[in-house]
Amino acid sequence: MSEIIPKYWVTMTDRFMSGWGLAKGLKNKLVFECESLAEAERLESFALNRPEMSYVHLCSTKPKYVKAVMEQDYKSGGYYVQMRNKTLCPRWYE
């Protein structure tokens, strides 16, 4: 099975998870990989309706703080970045 390379990303700041735990002193940034514009638009709409999410963006180019497409969380600048996809968060894509 070949790896799917995302064409779109939906990014957001999770205000609830920012500033504590693994994101202590950092903004918790979620980055969702999407295969199509329609999928990205659905995910963006879902995120915009969640009160804990802010700075929701749909991107057609890889965000600058994303090191690589991976399933590992990491610190980058003032962010704790969490990469998400259908395997890790299937309900976000429904």
Residue 26 reports pLDDT greater than 50? yes
Structure tokens given for 3: 């790896």
CA–CA distance, 83 with 90 (Å, rounded to integer): 13
The pLDDT of 41-69, averaged and rounded, is 90
Question: Which is higher by pLDDT, 76 or 29?
Answer: 29
pLDDT at 59: 95
CA–CA distance, 85 with 65 (Å, rounded to integer): 17
User: pTM of the entire structure?
Assistant: 0.86
